[in-house]
Every structure is written in C-alpha cells, then in structure tokens.
C-alpha cells in the first residue's frame, strides 16, 4: 500500500504541474487573443474613418457636379442671349446675376468660418459686413 500511495502522490504532483503549465499556456493565448482583438478594433476604426472621409468626398463631388451643371446652364443661356439682338442688356443682367451668386457663396463660406472660429480674410470681412446701397439705402463708402 505504501508504494501505491507514493505513486499516487507522485502522479497527482505530475498532474498538478501539467495543469499549471496548461493554465499558463491558456493565459498566454488569452492575452494574444486580446491583443489581436484590439488590433482588429483599431483597424475597424480606421476603416470606418476612411469610409466617412470617402462619403464626405463623394458629397463634395456631387455638390461640385451640381455647381458645374448650373454654370453650364448659365453658359447655355449666355450663348442664347448672344444670338439674340439684345446682347448688351442680356449680358449685363447675366453678369449681375453671376456676381450676386458668387458673393452669396463667398458669404456662406465666410459665415461658416466665423461659426468655426477660424480667421477671416479682409475680403471675407467686407463680404460679411458690407451694406449694399440697394438693400439698406445707405452709403457704405466708409467701410474701408
């Protein structure tokens, strides 16, 4: 019986050692898995960021396409007006319309910069705070 008991104790000790080694291996694998999961999450975040940038660029492209389409339509109108006899009046009217649209676009961009607390150029300040004689019936010559 003594021999059997000692062999059993020896076997138990061996099994404990094996179990402790398996636990260490398990912990290492668990740590590796966690680090790989963090890397995967980081890569997924980068992918999402790139997808968002891509969508923003697509939106900007579509806006520019629409703007280009407007300008093409304006060019068609100008060409039609060139063919007509009232060239000078039509040309001047078209220039006024284009100037108003350009100034309005610049005003919107300047307002956005102002909202985002970005620095404004002198021209942007003029566009934002300039009072037209037609709209307010005041002389704005003292702006400079």
Q: What is the pLDDT of residues 91-131, one digit of tens each?
A: 567 667 767 877 888 888 888 988 998 888 877 887 787 75
- Residue 142: pLDDT over 50: no
Query: How far apart (Å, rounded) are the C-alpha atoms in residues 94 and 86?
Result: 12
DSSP state of 143: G
Q: Which of 140, 113, 110 shows the shortest CA–CA distance to 124?
A: 110
DSSP state of 130: P
Q: Are 113 and 106 in contact (CB under 8 A)?
A: no
Query: How far apart (Å, rounded) are the C-alpha atoms in residues 13 and 49?
Result: 54
pLDDT at position 102 is 79
Calculate ∠ Cα 12-13-14, nearest 5°: 90
Q: Are 87 and 81 in contact (CB under 8 A)?
A: yes
Q: Provide the CA 135 distance to its chain's centre, in angstroms.
A: 36
Q: Which of 142, 139, 106, 141 shows the shortest CA–CA distance to 125?
A: 106
Three-state SS for 122?
helix
Q: Which of 3, 22, 2 shows the shortest CA–CA distance to 14?
A: 22
Q: Is the pTM of this model over 0.75?
A: no
Taking every pair of C-alpha atoms in the chain, what is the biggest distance, in angstroms? 125
pLDDT per position as a tens digit, 4-62: 888 889 999 999 999 999 999 999 999 999 999 999 999 999 999 999 999 999 999 99
């Amino acid at each position: 019986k003594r021999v059997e008991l000692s062999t059993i104790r020896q076997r138990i000790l061996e099994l404990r050692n094996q179990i402790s080694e398996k636990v260490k291996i398990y912990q290492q694998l668990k740590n590796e898995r966690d680090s790989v999961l963090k890397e995967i999450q980081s890569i997924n975040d980068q992918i999402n960021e790139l997808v968002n940038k891509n969508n923003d660029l697509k939106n900007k492209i579509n806006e520019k396409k629409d703007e280009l389409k407007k300008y093409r339509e304006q060019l068609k109108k100008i060409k039609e007006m060139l063919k007509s006899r009232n060239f000078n009046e039509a040309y001047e009217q078209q220039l006024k319309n284009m100037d108003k649209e350009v100034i309005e676009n610049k005003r919107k961009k300047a307002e956005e910069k102002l909202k985002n607390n970005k620095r404004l150029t002198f021209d942007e300040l003029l566009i934002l705070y300039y009072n037209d004689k037609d709209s307010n019936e005041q002389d704005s010559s003292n702006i400079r």
